[in-house]
């Protein structure tokens, strides 16, 4: 009989402790989590005609002219409405001016370096496209406005610079899937870029 009494006492004690632990855990703050972002499968179409360049652009994006007061012809936004994100493109004709080309490349690195205060790191490298063209790539880590920038040129007639922007107040860690999606689209743009004579 004593065994039964001890067993009931021990079981009661264990049950009350486990109940207490559950109540204590309910009061603890939960760790931060991020919303799950479901990305569509990449699909591309040709850019509309009328520009000195052509490339393939995402079917999920709208191509719009840049409307800032100092915008030049063929400056474009590739806008992704579902994420309030865009790839900004600025085009400059070179007219065989090597000094202008050097200044534009220098400007690309200067614009990227303006994010150094917030960036945890900056990686710069040259990408070779499938067709053998070169593109300068600048990737920035951290809470920066633009995490991926690029420029490419034929060194004689054309220069194109691009930057990926996500216009939300959310931290870049939670937007990592979207940023990667846009980065892949920007690389696809570079890979399919063709200059027109």
pLDDT in tens, the chain (197 residues): 555 566 655 566 555 555 555 555 556 665 555 556 678 899 999 999 999 999 999 999 999 999 999 999 999 999 999 989 999 999 999 999 999 999 999 999 998 887 666 777 789 999 999 889 999 999 988 778 888 999 999 999 999 999 999 876 445 556 788 889 999 999 999 999 999 98
DSSP conformation letters of the chain: -HHHHHHHHHHHHHHHHHHHHHHHHHHSPPPP-----PPPPP-EEEPPSSSSEE-EEETT-EEEE--STTPPTT-EEEEETTTTEEEEEEEEE-TT-HHHHHHHHHHHHHHHHTTTTTEEEEEEEEEEPTTS-EEEEEEEEES-S-SEEEEEE-SSSEEEEEEEEE-SSS-TTTTHHHHHHHHHHHHHHHHH-EE--
Which 8-state DSSP code applies to residue 28? S
Q: Who's near 55: CB < 8 A, 6+ residues apart?
A: 46, 47, 189, 190, 192, 193, 194
Q: What is the pLDDT of residue 122?
A: 84
Q: What is the model's pLDDT at position 46?
A: 97
How high is the pLDDT of residue 143? 79
Structure confidence at residue 140 (pLDDT):
87
Quote the CA–CA distance of 195 and 55 in Å, as a whole number.
9
Q: What is the pLDDT of residues 52-61, one digit of tens each?
A: 999 999 999 9
Give the per-residue pLDDT at 61.
97
């Amino acid at each position: 009989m004593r065994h039964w009494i001890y067993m009931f006492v021990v079981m009661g004690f264990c049950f009350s402790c486990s109940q207490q632990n559950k109540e204590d855990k309910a009061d603890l703050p939960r760790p931060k989590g991020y919303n799950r972002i479901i990305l569509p499968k990449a699909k591309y179409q040709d850019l509309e005609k009328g520009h000195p360049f052509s490339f393939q652009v995402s079917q999920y994006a709208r191509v719009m002219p840049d409307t800032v007061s100092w915008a030049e012809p063929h400056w474009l936004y590739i806008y992704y409405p579902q994420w309030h994100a865009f790839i900004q493109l600025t085009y400059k004709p070179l007219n065989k001016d090597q000094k202008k080309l050097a200044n534009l490349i220098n400007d690309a690195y200067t614009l990227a370096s303006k994010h150094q205060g917030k960036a945890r790191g900056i990686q710069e490298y040259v990408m070779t496209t499938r067709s053998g063209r070169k593109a300068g790539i600048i990737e920035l880590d951290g809470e920066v406005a633009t995490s991926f920038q690029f420029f490419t040129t034929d060194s004689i007639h054309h220069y194109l610079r691009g930057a990926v922007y996500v216009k939300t107040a959310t931290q870049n860690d939670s937007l990592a899937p979207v940023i990667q999606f846009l980065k892949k689209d920007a690389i696809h743009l570079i890979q399919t870029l063709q200059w027109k004579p």
